[in-house]
Amino acid sequence: MFHRIKPRAAMAILPALLCIPQPAAAGETKPEPVRLGEVPELPASESVMYDEARDMFYVSVMGGDDPGDGYIASITTDGKTADRGFITGLDEPKGSAVVGNIFYVSDGKELAEVNLDDKTVVRHAAPGAVFLNDVAADDEGNIYISDTGQSAIYRFDTDKNLTLWMKTNLLNRPNGLLIEGDTMYVASWGERQGEGEDATSNGRLLKVDMTSHAVEAVTPVPVGNIDGVQRYGKDGFLISEWNGGKIYHVATDGAAREILAPGQSVGDILYHQGRKQLFLPMNRQGKLLVYSLVAPE
């Protein structure tokens, strides 16, 4: 059982198990996540990222509806300490990225730029934004922010100009972003298809050429309300499907195969290749789930 934990309190939640990946059986091809633990009391947690320079995890916590009740929790990699006051005063923080000593996080219709040395926050309004979501940086330190509300992506360049970078229905309500070189992978939330309990979404994993802005589908078949996308092994991906509450492995041919069903509202996930660990922010459950998961060679 897990006890109530106060901010900054030590938590024996993510045990020493954190360092023990589950070995894959010989010849095994199906990814087999093994649950390690969880970090509770992260209400409406939406996204998790890893800051390599500081060796720390950051979880975006939206909290409730009160202005300023959103925050970023930092979690040590041994899982023993969570600082729920790491960055405070946000509203609905979602995707984030770190470049140098700056932490960027989307917050409603703004990009918040947080100096990690002194925690000062500068807000930048995205002109015409509807629902900003994930954040990713390119190799030069430019920041890209998806706008799920209007099938657009904004760009915050290194001269601090925040402009509309791309807008097309081909993005199909973009959510998670993953940039590798000149390629941007986009997890599209999609449009609702059908009615009532049988409704689905036509979201797919997409691929954008960042020079030509050409959009291609990675998954030929729609998957659903895709939220997060992470690289998995050399050629594959892991994606989260929010509504159905599932994690899929996307193989090189674009086939998406379910590997885990953590429950509805699984958000912007993190796969840490070096640690061989998968982190799942569970919005409605208000916690971060941690799994061991070996990646293919």
CB-CB contact of 203 with 187 (8 Å): yes
Strand order in the sheet with 205-209: 174-180, 183-188, 205-209, 215-217
Nearer to Ca ion, 70 or 190 (CB): 70
Look at phi and psi of residue 213 and say left if phi exceeds 0, alpha if psi is from -120 to 50, else beta. Answer: left
Closer to Ca ion by Cβ: residue 63 or 174? 63
| 157 belongs to the binding site for Ca ion (CB under 5 A) | no
Nearer to Ca ion, 72 or 250 (CB): 72
- CB 154 within 8 Å of CB 165: yes
User: Which residue, 94 or 173, is less far from Ca ion as judged by CB?
Assistant: 94
Burial class (CB in 10 A: 0-12, 13-18, 19+), 125: exposed
The type of residue at 148 is: T
Q: How many angstroms separate the Cα of 294 from the Cα of each of 22, 29, 50, 73, 235?
A: 7, 11, 18, 26, 14
Least distance (Å) from Ca ion to the CB of residue 124? 19
- CA dist 291 and 278 (Å) reads 5
Q: State how far the Cα of 297 lies from the Cα of 235, in Å rounded to an integer.
A: 9
Minimum CB separation of residue 92 from Ca ion in Å reads 5
Looking at the Cβ atoms of 62 and 239, the one nearer to Ca ion is 62
CB of 270 to Ca ion, least distance (A): 21
Query: How many residues interact with Ca ion (rule CB under 5 A)?
Result: 4
What is the nearest approach in angstroms of Ca ion to the Cβ of residue 70?
4
Start-to-end CA span in the chain (Å)? 36
Three-state DSSP state, 67? coil
List binders of Ca ion among 24-83 (CB under 5 A): 62-63, 69-70
Minimum separation from the CB atom of position 77 to Ca ion (A): 27
What x-and-dash track marks residues 241-280 binding Ca ion by CB under 5 A?
----------------------------------------
Q: Which helix (H) or strand (E) holds 134?
A: strand 132-137
**What mask of x and - would describe binding to Ca ion in positions 174 to 213, judged by CB under 5 A?**
----------------------------------------
Nearest distance in Å: CB 218, Ca ion: 32
Q: How many CA atoms lie within 13 A of 73 on its CB side?
A: 33
Kindly tell me the sign of the dihedral angle through the C-alpha atoms of 242, 170, 218, 143.
Answer: negative
Q: Which is nearer to Ca ion, 96 or 201 (CB)?
A: 96
CB nearer to Ca ion: give 69 or 191.
69
- Smallest distance, Ca ion to C-beta of residue 61, A: 8
Least distance in angstroms from the C-beta of 125 to Ca ion: 18
Closer to Ca ion by CB, 23 or 68: give it: 68
Query: What residue type is assigned to position 112 of the chain?
Result: A
Q: Are 42 and 264 in contact (CB under 8 A)?
A: no
- Applying CB under 5 A, which residues contact Ca ion? 62-63, 69-70
